[in-house]
Amino acid sequence: MKKEDIPHDDGPLTKLTKEMCYAVDESGRYTTELSEGWAVKKEALEVAWTDVETRIASARQKVLDGQASPILYFMELKLMDVSILAAYTGHWTWTVKRHLKPRVFHKLSDKTLQRYADLFECTVQDIKTMHTHEA
């Protein structure tokens, strides 16, 4: 790509960051240049975030319907999966899967819930009530 062909399309990250690209300058040498964004990348990010929002909404509904514990909601909200959650909390994967069941969740001690709360950056009460401090 030539230096003058580097895309500078507005995107969701335009105000936050710029991306370094390699380009060929006027004398044919490779150089670096900052790009403000690319329309194709913007569309891909929008699709990905729409999927994330759908997963969060689905997890919330499962909790409200009594099909899952609030841990599922916070796990999706923090972009984690069971393996990651298990690794960070020090629980076995099968233990985390059990904690995702409402009947098991309601029996968890505050000490166990505190491990999740620390990871999710909230309080035990926030987990129990599915309250988030997100803007």
For the chain, which domains are there? Answer: 52-129 (1.10.260)
- The residue-averaged pLDDT of 20-48 equals 81
**Distance from chain centroid for Cα 10:** 22
Tokens (6 digits) for 4? 């003058």
* Model pLDDT, residue 135: 42
CB of 93 within 8 A of CB of 123? no
CA distance 101 to 103: 6
Angle at 26 between CA 21 and CA 32, to 5 degrees: 20
Q: For residue 86, give the amino acid letter.
A: A
pTM of the model: 0.74
* Model pLDDT, residue 88: 96
pLDDT digits (tens, 9 = 90+) for 44-53: 888 998 999 9
CB of 7 within 8 A of CB of 39? yes
Going by C-alpha positions, the residue among 134, 133, 96, 135 that lies closest to residue 115 is: 96
Residue with tokens 């899952």: 68
From 11-20, 104-113, 117-126, the region with the lowest mean pLDDT: 11-20
- The residue-averaged pLDDT of 69-98 equals 96
pLDDT digits (tens, 9 = 90+) for 1-25: 676 677 666 766 666 777 778 888 8
* Model pLDDT, residue 23: 84
